[in-house]
């Protein structure tokens, strides 16, 4: 593999990680959305690069789908949703861990991702070596965003980051599963986002806020 290709892969991996930190380190929903959009554009580029390196045409289709759905359609839907919602629910003012602490935890999680990917019994190849730890880090950071935040919007973003991590993971490890499955996964994400948007509307109308702390009626006591 040529040094230029390696460089491109390493830089793109780094951008992906930085964009993921953007979701962790900011309070505003629009900031997360921008970070997610950036991440998805880079992810589409990475997909195309992997397609070029491996020479499988189906991966190009996945790259185009990533660009269309994740960096255009989903941010559009979510921007529309936030415009319709109350202003105060758009920022995360009170996460369980403070921003500073969550950045430290995230750094540890990234280190953990690199550690894990060395432990796993995979054949070494540059695509796997570079992107696998990045994808795992995305997965972990997405989970962190999901459990650490109180607003329902940020849980959606957490899910999206997890999903990007999974996508990269699948791509790096297997050079893409067959196209029909990819399309199915994309359809699932898109429908999932639409459903969660509807739920967000109802939640804000019913509870006057998007704090998931309100969702505590159902319990056994």
Partner 1 sequence: MPDIAILLLLLTPLVGGVLVTILGKKNYAEIITISSASLVLIQVIFILSKVIHDKTITAFGNMFYIDSLGAVILLPISIVGFVAVLYSKNYMGHQYDMGMVDDKHIVRYYQGINAFLLSMIVVPITNNLGIMWVTVEATTLVSVLLIMLYFKENAIEAAWKYLIIATVGLSFALVGTVFFYYANINSGTSEDAMDWTGMVHNSKLFNPALVMIAFVFILVGYGTKAGLAPMHTWLPDAHSEAPTPVSALLSGVLLNCALYGIIRFRIVTIGAIGTAFSNELLIILAVVSIGIGAASIYFQKDMKRMLAYSSVEHMGLVSLGIGFGGLVGVYGAILQIINHAIAKPLMFFASGNVSQKYETKVMSKVKGVIKVMPMTGTLFLIGGFALVGMPPFNIFLSEFLVLSSGFQSGQFLAVSVVIVFLVVTFAAFLRHLIKMIFGTPAAEVKKDEMGKLAVIPLAILGSLVIVLGFYIPSQLQELIHNASVIINGGGFA
> CB–CB of 56/175 below 8 Å?
yes
Report residue 68 CA to chain centroid gap: 15
For partner 1, the closer CB: 48 or 177: 177
Q: How many other C-beta atoms are found inside a 10 Å radius of the C-beta of residue 11?
A: 11
Nearest approach in angstroms of CB 38 to partner 1 is: 22
Residues that bind partner 1 (CB under 8 A): 120-123, 139, 143, 146, 152, 155, 159, 162-163, 166, 169-170, 173-174, 177-178, 180-181, 184-185, 187-188, 191-192, 195-196, 198-199, 202-203, 206-207, 212, 214-218, 220
Nearest approach in angstroms of CB 124 to partner 1 is: 13
For partner 1, the closer CB: 2 or 221: 221
Question: DSSP string spanning 38-96?
Answer: HHHHHHHHHHHHHHHHHT-HHHHHHHHHIIIIIIIIHHHHHHHHHHHS-SGGGB----S
Nearest approach in angstroms of CB 144 to partner 1 is: 12
Q: Among candidates 217, 213, 218, 194, which has minimal Cα distance to 93? A: 213
For partner 1, the closer CB: 14 or 147: 147
Residue 60: which residues within 8 A CB-CB, separation 6 or more?
Answer: 47, 48, 51
For partner 1, the closer CB: 14 or 122: 122
For partner 1, the closer CB: 4 or 218: 218
> CB–CB of 210/153 below 8 Å?
yes
Nearest approach in angstroms of CB 173 to partner 1 is: 5
Nearest approach in angstroms of CB 209 to partner 1 is: 13
For partner 1, the closer CB: 1 or 120: 120
Phi then psi for residue 126, to 5 deg, are -55, -40
Q: Which residues lie across from 151 on neighbouring strands?
A: 211
Q: Which residues lie across from 211 on neighbouring strands?
A: 151
Nearest approach in angstroms of CB 11 to partner 1 is: 25
């Amino acid at each position: 593999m040529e040094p230029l290709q390696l460089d491109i892969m390493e830089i793109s991996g780094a951008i992906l990680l930085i964009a993921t930190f953007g979701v962790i380190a900011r309070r505003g929903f629009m900031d997360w959305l921008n970070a997610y959009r950036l991440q998805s554009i880079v992810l589409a580029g990475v997909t195309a690069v992997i397609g070029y390196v491996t020479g499988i045409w189906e991966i190009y289709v996945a790259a185009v789908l990533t660009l269309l759905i994740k960096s255009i359609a989903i941010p559009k839907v979510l921007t529309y949703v936030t415009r319709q919602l109350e202003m105060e629910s758009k920022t995360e003012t009170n996460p369980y861990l403070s921003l500073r602490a969550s950045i430290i935890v995230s750094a540890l999680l990234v280190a953990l991702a690199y550690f894990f990917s060395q432990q796993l019994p995979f054949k070494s190849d540059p695509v796997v070596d570079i992107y696998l730890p990045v994808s795992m880090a995305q997965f972990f950071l997405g989970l962190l965003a999901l459990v650490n935040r109180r607003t329902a919007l940020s849980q959606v973003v957490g899910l999206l980051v997890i999903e990007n991590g999974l996508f990269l993971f699948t791509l790096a490890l297997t050079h893409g599963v067959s196209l029909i499955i990819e399309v199915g996964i994309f359809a699932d994400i898109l429908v999932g986002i639409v459903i969660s948007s509807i739920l967000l509307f109802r939640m804000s109308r019913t509870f006057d806020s998007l704090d998931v702390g309100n969702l505590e009626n159902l319990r056994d006591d």
